[in-house]
Amino acid sequence: MRNKTLTQYLIEQQREFNSIPPTLRFLIEVFACSCQSISNIVSKGALGGVLGIAGSKNIQGETQKKLDIISNEILIKANEWGGHLAAIASEEMENIFHIPNRFPKGEYLMMFDPLDGSSNIDVNISIGTIFSVLRCPKEVTQPSEKDFLQAGTEQVAAGYAVYGPQTDFVLTTGHGVNCFTLDREIGSWVLSQENIRIPEETQQFAINASNSRHWYPPVQRYIDEILAGQDGVRGKNFNMRWVGSMVADVHRIINHGGIFIYPADKREPNKPGKLRLMYEANPISFIVEQAGGSATNGSQRILDLQPIELHERVAVFIGSKNEVERVTRYHIDI
């Protein structure tokens, strides 16, 4: 593993599994390079003049930060020209982005959340970038939104970058999960963790407890049992960790175990959840399952869900298998 770069890893994966064609390898390398650029800008903070709000809202109705827009532009510009993509979709854009006619078109579709956890930007807390890759349907020369509406099981690659004390790039192409750390001295991503596995048992959970009065009974039951600690039915104490950045919370869970919960609640009963299925839940679920964990929406495996719209929302219960299965069972047993 020592000093193995992302490129070396991808080439070895192609030799071993014959599953990473050159165009997909190039796509991943370009995206990782984009994340390196975002990391450099994030690290400058106020010195780079990139903090604060942009004075606009995205399709989700959320106030955009300057770094949301900058990160989105970096990812578009880096990925539009290489000939590996047929179209792009971003959480920050209402419609899909068609590859300009002056560039060749490829066989893949890419989706991303340019800057997850952007509410944490101004206070120097870990944030990140999430991406997902699908194959463009054959014979499609001008992709439309419906071509992106594929179940998560159809992903050929997914990953995220987390910009924290160090910058990490976590990747799966369907053969396990590996982490690469940005070595700024040599300007390369270097393999730092191989074949990451999430412990099935855990004593950590991540949820926004301030919303507890709005939770539905299955979530309330599950959290009440956890909070009862060793004196309750679970017979052990749990610790709560909540960063407010999905990539940061999930990165901890991938390394140490735990469960990340962002449920639907009574505030907006017509909405199935808060997080976006295509840009957040699907790629993270792919990663978590490849690391031995589980991911459901409370009643169904997330990767089996058939999307009906590009910016669809979903409830998420992601992490250590035994905990995800327990809280899912509480939903099913209603």
- Binding-site members for Mg(2+) are 91, 113, 115-116, 280
Residue set of the binding site: 91, 113, 115-119, 208, 274, 280
- Give CA–CA dist 11/9, Å, rounded: 5
Closest CA to 181 of 163, 156, 199: 163
* Cα–Cα distance for residue pair 24/106, rounded to 1 Å: 10
Question: Strand, helix or coil at 141?
Answer: coil
Q: How many Cα atoms occupy the beta-carbon half-sphere of 161 within 13 Å? A: 26
- Count the neighbouring beta carbons within 10 Å of the beta carbon of residue 3: 10
DSSP-based three-state secondary structure for 82: coil
* Owner of token pair 């000093």: 3
Residues in the chain: 334
Give the number of other Cβ atoms within 10 Å of residue 227's Cβ: 15
Residue 248 vs residues 67, 219, 255, 259: alpha-carbon distances, Å:
17, 22, 11, 13
Query: For residue 216, what are the CA distances in angstroms to 68, 145, 163, 262, 296?
Result: 32, 33, 33, 12, 16
**Structural contact between residues 111 and 158, judged by C-beta atoms closer than 8 angstroms:** no
Annotated binding-site positions for substrate: 116-119, 208, 274
* Maximum C-alpha span of the chain: 66
- With beta carbons less than 8 A apart as the criterion, state whether 202 and 255 touch: no
Return the SS3 of 259: strand
How do strand 294-296 and strand 259-262 relate by DSSP bridges? unpaired
Reduced to 3 states (helix: H, G, I; strand: E, B; else coil), residue 198 is: coil
Structure tokens at 185: 């001295």
